[in-house]
Amino acid sequence: MGLGLNIIFRVFPFILGLEDLLGLSNESVDLSQCGIRSMSPIHLQYIRNSGAKASASFSIMIDGELWGLVTCQHYMPRHVDLSQRHLCVFLTQYAVNRLTKGDNSF
């Protein structure tokens, strides 16, 4: 099956350190492909209420539609470096490939 698979990730190494960013103008900036963009205030409150201090999520997009989501949380501030993010994307993609081929034996 030829899937248009795309894994989009966001990492928030320190939830309590998130602040609103003020730009130089009122123009919108397209951050749809940015891994460090802002978290929705509602989701931020949810994460804070859970006691987590760090969060990472990996959106699984197939043919332009959200197919699934892998989320990780930690109760201490935790930096996830680029090689760790690439490994998470690889593992997520591997799992999706196995699941979409009907192989649930992993």
* H/E run at residue 60: strand 54-62
In one-letter notation, the amino acid at residue 100 is T
Q: Say which amino acid occupies 32.
A: S
What CATH number corresponds to the domain at position 12? Answer: 3.30.450.40
Spatial distance between the Cα atoms of 89 and 82, rounded to a whole number of angstroms: 11
What does the pLDDT look like over 11-39, one tens digit per residue? 766 555 545 555 566 666 666 666 566 67
- Please give the helix or strand (H or E) that residue 19 lies within, else none: none
Q: Give the model confidence (pLDDT) of 36-60 as tens digits.
A: 666 778 888 888 899 988 888 888 8
Q: Is residue 93 in a domain?
A: yes
**44 domain-assigned:** yes
Contact of 6 with 65, CB cutoff 8 Å: no
Number of compact structural domains in the chain? 1
Residue span of the structural domain in which 73 resides: 5-16+34-100
Query: Is the overall model pTM greater than 0.95, yes or no?
Result: no
61 CB-contact burial (10 Å; exposed 0-12 / middle 13-18 / buried 19+)? middle
Q: Which residues pair with 61 in a beta bridge?
A: 6, 66
> Looking at the predicted structure, is the pLDDT value of residue 10 above 80?
no
Please report which confidence band the pLDDT of residue 1 belongs to, taking 50, 70 and 90 as the band edges: very low
pLDDT in tens, 64-75: 788 888 888 888
